[in-house]
Structure 1
Amino acid sequence: MVSLRARGGNFLGEQDSPGISGCHRSKARMDEVLPDGLLFKDHNFCSDLLRQLNGLRQSRILTDVCICAGSWEIPCHRNVLASSSPYFRAMFCSNFRESSEAKVQLKGIASLALEQVVAYVYTGEAHITAGNVLPLMEAASMLQYPRLFEACSSYLQGQLAPSNCLGMIRLSEVLSCETLKRKATEVALTCFPEVAASADLKELRALELRDYLGDDGLCGEEEKVFEALMAWVRHDLQARKRYLQELLQQVRLQYIHPAFFHHFMAGDTLLQSSPACRDFLEAARRHVFSACGASAPDCRPLWHGPPRSSYQDFLVLVGGRKDNQQTTRDVLLYSTRTGEWHSLAQLPARLYKASAVALHRSIYVLGGMAVSAGHSPVSRAVYIFSLKLNRWHMGEPLLAARYSHSSATHRNFIFAIGGLGDRQELLGSMERYDSVHNVWERVASMPVGVLHPAVAVKDQRLYLFGGEDTMQSPVRLIQVYHLSRNSWFKMETRMVKNVCGPAALLGERIVIVGGYTRRILAYDPQSNKFVKCADMKDRRMHHGAAVMGNKLYVTGGRRLTTDCSIEDSASFDCYDPQTDTWTSQGQLPHTLFDHACLTLQCVPSVSTHS
């Protein structure tokens, strides 16, 4: 047997050969020790071989075919092309005539793109630029070089912008490039306001625009969707007005601000010139923008569709009294997606026991006692907050100054109920705000004036549960206001004994949340019956409650301890009606009570994340 070990050293000498030492060896070799020896792996060999083949091609040595684009001829090796692509394998390894021709003409490919593809085959490199990406991508697709095709796609994805994403979607469909289509569609949906202003939108075909505006993921307010479709129609009015009715149905009218509908849609001359559009808008007005709505069953699906998936629910806490019981101007926002609290623009004034409601993606803060040095008048002021702009502005004032009152919304209306007046008198009056015409009007007064009842609206009726009288005694009543009839009736019940506890509509039932008690009651208006739910951990009052995603969130308040003392709370809890259980969501940024707790559903903007 011949020994591989020589005298005084190993087979190569005691030291390694300089050519495979150090870092160079680690890059060129990844040897693998096997039971019967060593598997030598030289990864530079492949690239060296490719370089040598390219040198032979450029010198026209051993080339056996010219592939041509028009008059442009590129000498190649059949075996190299056949090894690199199924397209050329089929061409040269089958019984096609090209397998024996000296020149093969390729139609539909630009000569420069073909030359780049061949260079890629022999070097594994391609220089992709804005000027060559499209013909190169078409050539890579036709000649079946998927990695080069995806490299072109990645380049185009890096160039995506709201101004060109619609064109990219159309290009991706021509090229059957799903990765580019997904990315371009994502930009088109998430950057809708910018895309709507682009020239490309006006060049879409009717079917393309219909699918785009009807997409659930479109991140745009419905007013902007309407404006975009009208701009598209007016860009070529004579050719496009026949699509108006079909496109108008892509606007989810139930989420349009009623003032916008009234002033900009219902009176639009182009829409009014179409009998079908006119009927469509009239049906919308009856079902969505009136106090009570119509009951025609054939129209219900149009007005009860879900919001777009781009809309998110946000919990907003407004005002109240925080640490050390100071009246605060703070506005806090909570996102269930991030689990974080953020501060928004502060209330313009410190307001003691104001009420607040959410309507049309805005918050309305009504009345309250204006807290200032030495003087605290009862206010008629209405402040309106836009989450999109993160800004407050003044609204139409209440007819009567009031605080410690309740408020509720229904369709396009806000109801301000009871409270205390500017002479500390108990108010039994109620007034209603019409957001379409921006006016307050008096409506029927409640049968029994109460403070701090639980309030909710369900099925054309406004319900007041319990509350307290002027002697601070609980009132065991349910008072019901019929919205379309403008009339009240009352029902005595032993079930309610709540004071300073909110109510919320959870599914088909109204849930009364605490109020100097741990008890949670779910009221079914259809059967006029109560169902007891899982108790809260503490006896609570002056807390907030709102529904998001079919769950009830309860914030802050004051709690009665076991020794009957009162403590301010920063608790943040969630009730799941499916499991009838409570879970803690952590803590508020500080203790808080007498605050408004509201749910806003809107398209996220910068202000919702700041």
Structure 2
Amino acid sequence: MDSPLLEVYQYKDRELSSHLLVQLNALRQEGIFTDVLLCSDDMEIPCHRNVLVSSSPYFRAMFCSNFKERHQDRIDLKAIASSVLSGIVDYVYTGAITITMELVLPLMQAASMLQYNRLFEACSTFLQEQLSPDNCLSMIRLSEILHCASLREKAKEMAVRSFSDVAASEEFHELSLPELLCYLEDDRLCAEEEQVFETLLAWIHHDPFSRRGAIHDLFKRVRLRYIHPTYLFQFIANDPLIQSSTLCTEIIESVRRLMFSVSTKCSEDLGPLWVTPRRYTCHETLVVVGGRKNSEQTSREALLFDERTQRWQWLAKLPVRLYKASYVCIHSILYVLGGLAMTSGDGVVSTTVYTLSLKTNQWRTAEPMLHPRYAHQSVSYLHFIFVLGGIGPDKQISNTVERYNSMFNLWEPMTTMPTPVLHPAVAANDQRIYVFGGEDAMQNPVRSIQVYHIARNLWCRMETRTVKNVCAPAAVIDDKIYIVGGYTRRVIAYDTKANKFVKCENMKERRMHHAATVINNKLYITGGRYINSHDVIEDSDCFDCYDPKTDVWTSKGTLPYKLFDHGSLPLVCVSNNPNPP
């Protein structure tokens, strides 16, 4: 059969536009049909009006409106160097131009004047490629002179990302007060708040006579909630500049009253400063530390998981192997408290406290606890760490409670628990510590909630049939305490405001000896042990996430190894990524 006739054929010559440019440029070079001269210095460049009009709104207005140039054969462009003008004409006729450091600034100015916007942005892109911490402040000033928003944004991004290097430069010390305030208010600033404070001090000391009056305005930009209390009350509060400002000392006293009252509610004047969120570059990462690894010996490993990169990173190893230590994070420092130190024989019940900062990635020892203990629980609240129960050297379950005050680096005994329990679920919220369930000395489950009022140093006990958890972690999200598993798949949330339990979606397996922590209002569960379909207990490398908004569990993959009786904590990491998660 004959093939059907093609009635319509749409043809598009993709090379026509470039071919026309080549031919137009050849006509220009041969002086054919050129009807205007662009003049600069002693150079005259023949051009076609219609080409100039088509390429630029500037020339369109010049030649198509009632300007005198419409009837002139010579156009003087004295503000543009002849070499720059020649390059722009070549660009108009060929679409190509070579940009160099010597040429870029006069080229940008000419492109701006003649309204060649794509050429202007090409010059901006070239300058963005030259950005470094050493020149980004100069580039910002240049971008403001040139009215180049794209260059300014990239240079500002470089400045906040490399804040440590930039803040040490002479140019930084020459910033005006509004410019410095702009940096300190930027959520993308890659710096801890202690460094922010030290930077504003250095800026003032560069010209103390004229700048010391700005201390209050600058100090309000420091996010005090995220500064270690020791640094705040021993270093910042005693700084002569701070002491010279009544308004600054009032802010510090408001913070002091807030912390001593053990309350999360702040005064009206402190409120806006206290509730300011962390900067985007300070984001929570998940740290997994210690525990029993691959059913073998107690692990010294410490791992960091970054939700942004979805990768695990190995941190410095614990100095010793610790069986059933407790783990807590406060002021961006990881604490490992007590445990059975596996150094010789059966091990020694320890009072030692080890700390790890991501800044140094080195383990150090802190002030030891008052009582040696293992299989205990630790929880942080404001600037306190509370350690509860556990087993002492006498192998008995302890009811003792002690508190570490990070403001004064001091441990102190607190009121003992009403009922000593082992392996309860523990969480702190709204000036209270909640101890759910656990088991007694006879390994019987304890069906009660023991509540400790932090400010009053007082315990009370509530009996409830709902609580029956052993070896289950607890974590707080929006005034709800989630108790996850414990020889069961069950997940329940205790609403501390309504004083009632809410059932949540179950886990896939019955789990115990696992760990739980909260990052970005989601619950992350790591490792543990589970009971398989044959009722056999196995170790787990599971890494799961629960979203309370959707009541849905999702898998995050697996841990690098099987692990139980470990710590899982949120630790703030300062990243040079300026973008929010």
Equivalent of residue 504 in structure 2, options 515, 533, 550? 533
CA distance in 1, matches of 2:397, 2:229: 33
Residues 1:449 and 2:420 are matched in the alignment: yes
Single out whichever of 203-212 and 560-569 deviates more from structure 2: 560-569
2:173 match: 202
- Seen in structure 2, the aligned counterparts of structure 1 residues 38 and 284 have a Cα distance that, compared at 3 Å, is closer
Any conservation in 2 of the 1:477–1:491 contact (CA below 8 Å)?
A: yes
2:514 match: 543
Equivalent of residue 318 in structure 2, options 347, 364, 368? 347
- Seen in structure 2, the aligned counterparts of structure 1 residues 326 and 117 have a Cα distance that, compared at 3 Å, is same
Single out whichever of 124-133 and 399-408 deviates more from structure 2: 124-133
1:494 match: 465
Any conservation in 2 of the 1:74–1:115 contact (CA below 8 Å)?
A: no
1:259 match: 230
2:490 match: 519
Any conservation in 2 of the 1:51–1:122 contact (CA below 8 Å)?
A: no
Q: Partner letter of residue 152 of structure 1?
A: C
Any conservation in 2 of the 1:356–1:365 contact (CA below 8 Å)?
A: yes
Taking CA–CA contacts closer than 8 Å with sequence separation of 6 or more, which of the two structures ends up with the larger relative contact order?
2
Any conservation in 1 of the 2:36–2:75 contact (CA below 8 Å)?
A: no
Residues 1:581 and 2:552 are matched in the alignment: yes
1:597 match: 568
CA distance in 2, matches of 1:557, 1:312: 26
Q: Partner letter of residue 194 of structure 1?
A: D
1:19 match: none
CA shift at 1:585, angstroms? 2.2
2:25 match: 50
Deviation per CA, 1:436-475: give whole Å up to 9, x if none. 2222122222122211111111111111111112111112
| 1:62-73 pair list within 5 angstroms | 64-68=36-40, 73=43
- Seen in structure 2, the aligned counterparts of structure 1 residues 279 and 114 have a Cα distance that, compared at 3 Å, is farther
1:169 match: 140
CA shift at 1:128, angstroms? 2.2
CA distance in 1, matches of 2:197, 2:13: 68
When the two structures are aligned, how many residues end up with a matched partner? Answer: 569
CA distance in 2, matches of 1:41, 1:579: 55
Any conservation in 2 of the 1:388–1:604 contact (CA below 8 Å)?
A: no
- Seen in structure 2, the aligned counterparts of structure 1 residues 290 and 255 have a Cα distance that, compared at 3 Å, is farther
CA shift at 1:127, angstroms? 3.3
Residues 1:506 and 2:477 are matched in the alignment: yes
Residues 1:359 and 2:330 are matched in the alignment: yes
Any conservation in 1 of the 2:281–2:576 contact (CA below 8 Å)?
A: no
Equivalent of residue 233 in structure 1, options 204, 207, 211? 204
Single out whichever of 258-267 and 90-99 deviates more from structure 2: 90-99
CA distance in 1, matches of 2:303, 2:327: 14
Q: CA RMSD in A?
A: 2.7
Q: Partner letter of residue 65 of structure 1?
A: L
2:4 match: none
Equivalent of residue 341 in structure 2, options 370, 373, 376? 370
Single out whichever of 111-120 and 215-224 deviates more from structure 2: 111-120
Q: Partner letter of residue 129 of structure 2?
A: G
- Seen in structure 2, the aligned counterparts of structure 1 residues 118 and 324 have a Cα distance that, compared at 3 Å, is same
| 1:173-188 pair list within 5 angstroms | 173-188=144-159
Any conservation in 1 of the 2:515–2:526 contact (CA below 8 Å)?
A: yes
Deviation per CA, 1:263-300: give whole Å up to 9, x if none. 32111111111112222222233335764366424432
List alignment gaps of at least 5 residues for structure 1. Answer: 1-32
| 1:282-293 pair list within 5 angstroms | 282-287=253-258, 291-292=262-263
Residues 1:77 and 2:61 are matched in the alignment: no
Helix, strand or coil for the counterpart of 1:132?
helix
1:7 match: none
CA shift at 1:301, angstroms? 2.8
CA shift at 1:187, angstroms? 1.6
1:193 match: 164
Residues 1:277 and 2:248 are matched in the alignment: yes
CA shift at 1:174, angstroms? 2.9
- Seen in structure 2, the aligned counterparts of structure 1 residues 41 and 496 have a Cα distance that, compared at 3 Å, is closer
CA shift at 1:574, angstroms? 1.8
- Seen in structure 2, the aligned counterparts of structure 1 residues 99 and 39 have a Cα distance that, compared at 3 Å, is closer
CA distance in 1, matches of 2:536, 2:93: 84
Any conservation in 2 of the 1:433–1:439 contact (CA below 8 Å)?
A: yes
Any conservation in 2 of the 1:258–1:289 contact (CA below 8 Å)?
A: no
Q: Partner letter of residue 481 of structure 2?
A: I
CA distance in 1, matches of 2:303, 2:10: 71
CA shift at 1:343, angstroms? 2.1
CA shift at 1:131, angstroms? 2.5
Single out whichever of 406-415 and 473-482 deviates more from structure 2: 473-482
Residues 1:145 and 2:116 are matched in the alignment: yes
1:302 match: 273
CA shift at 1:136, angstroms? 1.5
CA shift at 1:366, angstroms? 0.2
2:363 match: 392
Deviation per CA, 1:303-345: give whole Å up to 9, x if none. 1222112222211111100112321111122222233323222
1:553 match: 524
Deviation per CA, 1:351-406: give whole Å up to 9, x if none. 00000001111110000001124251111111111123322111111121111110
1:18 match: none
- Seen in structure 2, the aligned counterparts of structure 1 residues 356 and 101 have a Cα distance that, compared at 3 Å, is same
CA shift at 1:231, angstroms? 1.7
Helix, strand or coil for the counterpart of 1:131?
helix
Any conservation in 1 of the 2:160–2:189 contact (CA below 8 Å)?
A: yes
CA distance in 2, matches of 1:40, 1:126: 22
CA distance in 2, matches of 1:36, 1:163: 55
Q: Partner letter of residue 47 of structure 1?
A: V
Any conservation in 2 of the 1:168–1:181 contact (CA below 8 Å)?
A: yes
- Seen in structure 2, the aligned counterparts of structure 1 residues 279 and 37 have a Cα distance that, compared at 3 Å, is closer
Deviation per CA, 1:483-524: give whole Å up to 9, x if none. 112222222222212111111102111111122222222112
Q: Partner letter of residue 160 of structure 1?
A: L
Residues 1:465 and 2:467 are matched in the alignment: no
Any conservation in 2 of the 1:541–1:558 contact (CA below 8 Å)?
A: yes
Deviation per CA, 1:1-52: give whole Å up to 9, x if none. xxxxxxxxxxxxxxxxxxxxxxxxxxxxxxxx98599979664453254145
- Seen in structure 2, the aligned counterparts of structure 1 residues 199 and 74 have a Cα distance that, compared at 3 Å, is farther
1:311 match: 282
Single out whichever of 320-329 and 346-355 deviates more from structure 2: 320-329
Single out whichever of 241-250 and 79-88 deviates more from structure 2: 79-88
1:429 match: 400
CA distance in 2, matches of 1:413, 1:38: 74
Percent identity at matched positions? Answer: 51
CA shift at 1:133, angstroms? 1.5
CA distance in 2, matches of 1:457, 1:38: 70
Q: Partner letter of residue 410 of structure 1?
A: Y
Q: Partner letter of residue 225 of structure 1?
A: V
- Seen in structure 2, the aligned counterparts of structure 1 residues 75 and 575 have a Cα distance that, compared at 3 Å, is closer
Deviation per CA, 1:188-207: give whole Å up to 9, x if none. 22222222222332222222
CA distance in 2, matches of 1:37, 1:190: 51
CA distance in 2, matches of 1:40, 1:534: 59
CA distance in 2, matches of 1:41, 1:299: 67
- Seen in structure 2, the aligned counterparts of structure 1 residues 36 and 518 have a Cα distance that, compared at 3 Å, is closer
CA shift at 1:244, angstroms? 2.2
Single out whichever of 422-431 and 561-570 deviates more from structure 2: 561-570
CA distance in 2, matches of 1:473, 1:39: 85
1:480 match: 451
Any conservation in 2 of the 1:323–1:590 contact (CA below 8 Å)?
A: yes
| 1:216-231 pair list within 5 angstroms | 216-231=187-202
Any conservation in 1 of the 2:164–2:191 contact (CA below 8 Å)?
A: yes
- Seen in structure 2, the aligned counterparts of structure 1 residues 374 and 395 have a Cα distance that, compared at 3 Å, is same
Any conservation in 1 of the 2:342–2:348 contact (CA below 8 Å)?
A: yes
Single out whichever of 124-133 and 416-425 deviates more from structure 2: 124-133
Deviation per CA, 1:508-544: give whole Å up to 9, x if none. 1111112222222211222322222222222221110
Larger Rg: 1
